Structure 1
Amino acid sequence: MMKQFWIGYWFKPWYFLYRIGYAIVISGIRGYFKNHQYDGKENIPANTGVLYAVNHQNAFLDPIVIAGRTKEPTHFLARADIFKKPMVAKILSMIYMLPIYRQRDGVDTIKMNQKTFDTCFDILKNKGNVIIFPEGNHNYKKSLRPLKKGVSRIALGAAEKYNYDIDVKIVVLGLDYENHFKMNGSLYLNAGTPIDVSEYYENHKKNPSETINNLSDRIYQTLGSLIINIKDDENYDELHYLLHRIPLENNSNRVSLKFQLRKERLEKIEKLEKTNASLYEEIVSFISELKITMKKFKLRPYLLHQKPNSLLSLFLYSLLLILFSPFHIIGLTTNYLPYKTPVWFVNSKVKDKHFHSSLKMALGSLFFYLYWFIVTIIFSQFFGWKYGILFFITLPLIAAFNYKYWIYFIKVRGLWNYKLNYKSILSLREKYLDYYATIK
């Protein structure tokens, strides 16, 4: 798990704006994601140019979660249209963003992109890092799209520019979000074994196009093995629900284990599609029915694995909620506004949902610290600075309690709903348990 808090970045010769952003990302990751894990860190080579080839599911959040786990400035390519204003372009360059031009930008893309490519070549020569999203655009779906050849072209272009006397590695990195749009999900970074680009130098000298294609194919195959790749787009929503809502056999919170179990379940259902298409269609159709029923009664499928709780136990759970409600109310006064304000702003003002998570995480971090600072000053005016400092220290603990209370409240509400509607969903529960034996 990513537990360490690295503060050395404050002493790095980075742009100040990048250091501020780095701090926001580090604290934001801790608050936004319930669990986060980075496997394969030992695969990241040192003292060499590194190209990260990453799947692209979550717009701006993808590069910043990688940058937040890298102890060197990480450059990444972004749409050129956001660089149009000189002041914005200067700010973006200070956080190591580079423009990539498309046909719709109305410029000579080959000429303009060559400048960016040359910059990447020099970064790699100087043993720097560059993130590229070879799918070319973002999409929240957990499906690998066809890859552009930019990673291969930049890697081999850098080699060619420096007469093949350069060490470049490609690290294929899979990103997996348990929930793309809401907090409290898990984040999994999964780095594969580095591809040594020098293996392709001799072939590139003889046949550049074929070598670029071969390297791109290898990147595609590697990336596909590092992510959850749902290929049945027609039934995507049902398969996603199968992987992320229907309980896994192992109850572990370890992110990598849950990821592996989901991949195995996906492989199992894909195999079923080939060997027993009619049963596959039955299961997919049932999952669609299950989704509708769970939403109607505000339930989660994990409840179907158990009988309803007794009324006594439900009353005791509810009593606990009542007893701790005063602490929850205190928590609302110090946490509700900084939590809800970014959510409201992003949901109402930002149309592209792919940008929601990154903006909520960044704005949430800023709003929480700013709001806590203001509340602490007000508190200190009444009770003195000694108690004010103590109050400020306790604010993250109050926030953690408040969040746990809310999760507990949702679970108790679910138990009550299950108890009250059990007879209505009894037949669905029996059918669910029959199918679960096949899909677990």
Structure 2
Amino acid sequence: VQKQSLISLIKEAKQRNKIVVVGGPYVSSVPEEVQAAGCDFLVRGEVERLMDKVVMALENREQGGVFEAHTHPPLTESPLPRFDLVRMDDYLTMSIQTSRGCPFDCEFCDIVNLYGRTPRCKSPEQVIRELDYLYQLGWRREVFISDDNFIGNRAHAMAVLDLLIPWMKSHGEPFNFIVQASVNLGKDLELIDRLTEANISHVFVGVESPDEEILKAAHKYQNVKTPLIDSLNNMNKNGLSVMASFIIGFDGEKKGAGERICAFVQETNIPVVMLNTLHILPNTKLWDRLKNDGRLLEDSTSGQSTGGVLNYIPDRPEEEILEEYVQAWNYLYEPSRFLERTYRYYLSMRPTRAAGGVVADPAATVNGRGFKDAAGDIQRFARLSWRQGLVSRARRQYWRQIFGMMKHNPSRFVPYIVRCIMGEDMFRIRKSLLKDSRAFQ
């Protein structure tokens, strides 16, 4: 919900005399700013039962309007997305959605207020139809399953996997998937095994803090019930690449939170973590609490959580929070330390099923990626090897680890390289934060 870029796009579209229709979580919670920016039609809430009205208004050349959903529609009513209208060469990832909502109620999260606490699900057959459509259109890259919590309804997740696994095998494993899930996934080895069998190899997990009291205060109880380190290690060892998010700036947080996060990341060896400063989102319990306490700075709300001005008055010095934030980025994404952590992570991951002698359905028609995609992979690897293998001070370490992965866990070589490439983006953010830490003052 990057407010400033949203407002800029609306204004630019109006300058080009375009009709602007805006929807999504931010405008559903705070509609006034997009209306002031010139939005013609505003859609608040979920669109399934509103789309006919929106289209009719456009066809009738109406001058504007607000369409508001007062209920959460069943996702069985959601139509097949028009993927054929997408210029696929412009994207590295396509997105589908199998459910909305989350059974948990974290104080800082807006999912429950926006989509409900009981996950609503598409039928497994709907999910397969969407993937089949992408397949027919020639897509052979990553697919992001954008559910708020893919395992929020375990029975639904298993039902989807029951159809997805044979579909993937019969189509030659055309996709690699990424999902978002709660950390309790780590104690469900059966579900982890089913996920990896379906080629769901990456999972984004909200860890948020290594401090148990902070997690309890934020109502993130699911992260307390299972030992975090054990849960994350289970995912890693059983074939899931974890990306984890952390937040600095919670109420009750003691000095040194950044150092504790760094120690936790180093212990779990998670290569890529998203470090965020706490940013209070509209339509959350935390927003309401801080507003009632007179600590909410609404005019500073931007949706940006990777640095910048806080939109609330913290209960410890803001300068201390932001300094810890910058230093945590500096520590975790020092190139040599990042490479070593990534290497340890993928060395400890079990080999793939194929490496263990388990192969896909021999009747499958393997539809691999095209020459253009393969050429792009070679170019990305060449750029990585130039930057980290020749220019970087860690160049000897880079090549030592390259050959080490090829020798000790070759079936995990590709995800290891992918994480190293992602590290390049993290290095740039680190450099920017260190160069301009005045942005936090």
Is TM (by shorter chain) over 0.5?
A: no
Compare the two structures and name the one with the higher helix fraction. 1
Does 1 or 2 have the higher relative contact order (CA < 8 Å, sep 6+)? 1
Q: What TM-score does the superposition give when structure 2 sets the normalisation length?
A: 0.28
Q: TM-score of the superposition, structure 1-length normalised?
A: 0.28
